[in-house]
Amino acid sequence: MNSTDYQVLQAAIGWLHDGKRVALATVVQTWGSSPRPVGSWLAIREDGQVVGSVSGGCVEDDLIRRVQSEILTRTTPELVKYGISRDEAVRFGLPCGGTLQLLVEPRPEVFILEEIMGRIRKRSIVLRRVNLSTGESSLTVGSHSDQFLFSSEMMQTIYGPRWRMLIIGAGQLSLCLAHFALTSDFDVTVIDPREEYSEGIKSDEIQFIQGMPDDVMQELGIDSHTAIVALTHDPKIDDLALIDALQSQAFYIGALGSHTNTQKRKDRLREFNVSLEQLNQLHGPVGLAIGALTPPEIAVSIIAEVIAVKYGKNDS
């Protein structure tokens, strides 16, 4: 769950506890070009206040009007469609004739939303299934492989850190990257064996594990929703982690270092029976080439490259 969706959840719970009527709108289907993916949602309060986005601002004003005048008086979810015709798509600002379908829930259950919040705080993945006939929700344990689903009878949404980033090293750059990763829907774990760095990561949202990265990674397990970024610049720490990472299913593997040091690293890794095919998975120097110099700038370049690989948009 990214930071925007987390804010939606917080706002909805707060408003409901204040005795306000609240509707939740979720993107359930898109056709053509759409500004927001399925699963995106927003909360609409009875007085028109909103948190979140389902279209980047294209349809929100009309949706608020419909919620206030019609939907909040109902007891079961309602489907709302925008951009059925090209004229309507132009009217609401949907690009390229796109079409957007939303499920609006006029009676969200506060105890369900609180349970979702509690599980997210424990770094758990949770599935919510909404019965479209009754509006009632149920929760089950989710996994990284679960997907958003929608049918004429049910909507299934996923909340929690479905994507994970393991950062090797606990320096200033690691902390900057960790914060960008958190706001980009990653569960973040920082691994460093050096005791003197253990006080550097202080955050309830970032898990810090003191230990050798290769040992910790084996305990955590690495799947296809995991990104691994080595940032210590110390071969004794980074190389051991990279050997395991390059033989795993991780969708992104990167390491800090210049072009010269990256080639030296690859030469060293070849001595540990890492194949050329596996070495080609290594992004080094890590991050997009945007001329970054400071730790925050380098962190931006790294998270941008990770996201590009995540969505298959990386050309390197």
* Higher pLDDT pick, 275 / 315: 275
CA distance 274 to 196: 31
CA distance 216 to 40: 34
Give the end-to-end CA distance of the chain in Å, rounded to a whole number.
28
What's the pLDDT score for residue 31?
77
Binned at pLDDT 50, 70 and 90, residue 256 comes out as very high
CA distance 80 to 40: 14
Domain coordinates of the chain in residue numbers? 3-159, 163-310
pTM of the predicted model, to two decimals?
0.68
DSSP code of 92? Answer: T
What's the pLDDT score for residue 37?
82
What's the pLDDT score for residue 221?
85
Average pLDDT for residues 44-68, to the nearest whole number?
88
The CATH code of the domain at 163-310 is: 3.40.50.720
Average pLDDT for residues 257-262, to the nearest whole number?
91
> In 3D, which of 146, 171, 144, 145 has the Cα closest to residue 156?
146
Chain CA centroid to CA 46, Å: 29
Percent of the chain with pLDDT over 90: 54
> In 3D, which of 173, 128, 174, 176 has the Cα closest to residue 1?
128
Q: Locate all alpha helices (DSSP H) within 184-294, ordered by sequence.
A: 213-220, 235-246, 259-270, 276-279
> In 3D, which of 263, 312, 316, 260 has the Cα closest to residue 287?
316
Is the per-residue pLDDT at 121 higher than 80? no
Average pLDDT for residues 61-72, to the nearest whole number?
92
Q: What are 128-175's pLDDT values in tens digits? A: 999 999 999 999 998 877 889 999 999 999 887 678 999 999 889 999
Q: Which helix (H) or strand (E) holds 57?
A: none
> In 3D, which of 235, 236, 255 has the Cα closest to residue 245?
255
What's the pLDDT score for residue 142?
87
Is the per-residue pLDDT at 177 higher than 70? yes
CB atoms within 10 A of CB 114: 14
Q: Would you say 130 and 139 are in contact if contact means Cβ atoms under 8 Å apart?
A: no
* Higher pLDDT pick, 108 / 124: 108
Cis peptide leading into residue 235 (ω within 30°)? no
Q: Please tell me the chain's helix, strand, coil percentages from 3-state DSSP, rounded to the nearest 5.
A: 35, 25, 40
Average pLDDT, the chain: 87
Sole residue written with tokens 């095919």: 277
Say which residues have a Cβ less than 8 Å from residue 116's Cβ, sequence separation at least 6.
9, 126, 128, 139, 159
Is the per-residue pLDDT at 180 higher than 90? yes
Q: What are 196-248's pLDDT values in tens digits? A: 766 667 677 888 998 999 899 988 888 888 999 999 888 888 888 899 999 89
Is the per-residue pLDDT at 95 higher than 60? no
Q: What are 8-34's pLDDT values in tens digits? A: 999 999 999 999 999 999 999 987 666
> With the C-alpha atoms ordered 31, 33, 39, 41, is the resulting torsion angle positive or negative?
negative
